[in-house]
Structure 1
């Protein structure tokens, strides 16, 4: 029988966790520090044991809502794709999930649990009292050579990349630029204004992400400039081990005819390939991403509450956030692009 034991985050523990093949950037100390800072959350590191033998790890963070302890691995709104488990190949993810229930609701005393693990499938979730949403993501296999990657894109996407190059759009890799976060966020506000919305997080979150990941070399920041040297688009791309993630991209509407967004993605794919990355994850499914030659991968987002009341509170909070986001857009005068 598998059992989780909470551990102190010492150097030996981090070394052991870093040896698992299924490790992601979201399991690293830098990423946990970022989420903890932005969410006021408490990291939880636990080792999974089969008897006395360690066979894996669990990562999460505890936050409080309505006075209740919530365990997120991750929670919606944390701008964090997946967390969950790191397991030896022979260990069942369903069995690990079964061990998580008494750990979360018993030892940690939580009232609600959410988990999105890159290796979990819907078949793993049945019979455990969990509710879940289908939450697919779009990914690109970066193993093929550059010609094959480019050829897998839609013809219109390839034309746009060529057009940007002919128009004089250039891409630069950004290092140690304190103005980058504000620049990205200003462009992001313009993106949201097109939909009569405002960004769902503040510029301080962008600054926190860069502050925690850049010193460790785990983030690629890109800027596209027009022929006059003006910044017209930016991208924020965390990466680690075998994967790169499209955390955020933004551009000014008035310059989108130059097609800087496609150019940024193409630069990121080639850069990732040079670093030995094998998967580019767009972080979520969306029709526009298919033009890059993506494959959709199902990654369910599961949750369980200690009581029906807690489940209703969670759903109400989600609906309230969506309403607040739209109200804020109206109050700030954001208008959709006509």
Structure 2
């Protein structure tokens, strides 16, 4: 039987976690610092033990909602994605998830738990008292040659990339530029304004992300400029190990006819592939992403509450947040 034991972060612990093949950027120290600051949350690291042997690790953060302790791995609205477990090959994720229940509700004293683990499947969830919803993501395998990747896109997408080039759109890789967050957020507000909406998070979220992730060398920031040198679109793309993630993108409405968004994604794909990254993850399954030649991967988002009242409170909060996030996703592609 597996058990979870909370541990304190040390240099040796981070080094050990970095040896697991299923590691994601969302398990790393810089990313946890970002989420902890942005959400005023307390990171929780735990070893997954089988007897006396460590067979994996768990990552989460504790926050408070309605005066109750909540363990998120992650929670909706954190602009982060799958967290969950790091496990040795052959270790059952269902068994690890089963061991998480007493750890969350007894040892940590939490009233509610949410988990989204990239390797969990619906078959892992049955019989554990969990409710879950399907939260698929769209991914691109970057291992084929560039011409095959380009050919796998919809013809209209390929035309748009060529149009951007012919129109003089250029892509700039941004490093240590304190004005980038301002450019991104101004464009984000412009896109939302089209529907009389505002972004679902502040510019400080973007600045916090850049401050924590860029120094670790795990963040690609891109600007698209028109033929006159004006910044017309931006993209924020964390990357780590074998995966690049589309955290967010925005563009000015007046310049979308130049197709800078497609040009940004194509540049990011080639940049990542050249550095040995084998997967591009859009962190969401919206239909518009299929034009890039994506494959949909199911990722359940599971939750369990200590009492029906807590579950009701969570669902009420989630419903309000979901309405905002659906609008946000429809407009800009920035993830929940």
TM-score of the two chains, using structure 1 as the length reference: 0.95
In structure 1, stretches of 5+ residues that fail to align are 327-338
Q: 1:323 to 1:97 in 2, by over 3 A?
A: closer
Which residue in the other structure is 1:34 paired with? 34
Structure 1: 4+ residue segments shifted above 4 A: 322-326
TM-score of the two chains, using structure 2 as the length reference: 0.96
Which residue in the other structure is 2:188 paired with? 188
Shift of 1:320: 3.3
Which residue in the other structure is 2:64 paired with? 64
Which residue in the other structure is 1:126 paired with? 126
Paired with 1:196 and 1:141, the residues of 2 have a C-alpha distance of 36
SS class of match (1:14): helix
Paired with 1:56 and 1:88, the residues of 2 have a C-alpha distance of 6
Aligned-CA RMSD value: 1.3
Paired with 1:321 and 1:143, the residues of 2 have a C-alpha distance of 36
2:256 matches 1:256: yes
Structure 1 segment 57-136 matched on structure 2, within 5 A: 57-136=57-136
Retained in 2: the 8 A contact 1:198–1:325? no
Shift of 1:322: 5.2
SS class of match (2:264): helix
Retained in 1: the 8 A contact 2:200–2:324? no
Retained in 2: the 8 A contact 1:305–1:311? yes
Which residue in the other structure is 2:303 paired with? 303
Paired with 1:195 and 1:136, the residues of 2 have a C-alpha distance of 26
Shift of 1:79: 0.4
Q: 1:323 to 1:248 in 2, by over 3 A?
A: closer
Paired with 2:192 and 2:55, the residues of 1 have a C-alpha distance of 44
SS class of match (1:95): helix
Q: 1:80 to 1:323 in 2, by over 3 A?
A: closer
Retained in 2: the 8 A contact 1:34–1:209? yes
Which residue in the other structure is 1:332 paired with? none
Which residue in the other structure is 2:321 paired with? 321
SS class of match (2:21): coil
Which residue in the other structure is 1:291 paired with? 291
**Cα deviation code 1:128-170 (max 9, x no counterpart):** 0000010000000000010000000000000000011001000
Paired with 1:247 and 1:38, the residues of 2 have a C-alpha distance of 15
Retained in 2: the 8 A contact 1:233–1:250? yes
Which residue in the other structure is 1:240 paired with? 240
Q: 1:323 to 1:53 in 2, by over 3 A?
A: closer
Shift of 1:194: 2.3
Shift of 1:316: 1.1
Retained in 2: the 8 A contact 1:120–1:299? yes
In structure 2, stretches of 5+ residues that fail to align are 327-336
Shift of 1:323: 6.5
Shift of 1:324: 7.4
Paired with 2:13 and 2:290, the residues of 1 have a C-alpha distance of 39
SS class of match (2:55): strand
Shift of 1:318: 1.8
Which residue in the other structure is 2:54 paired with? 54
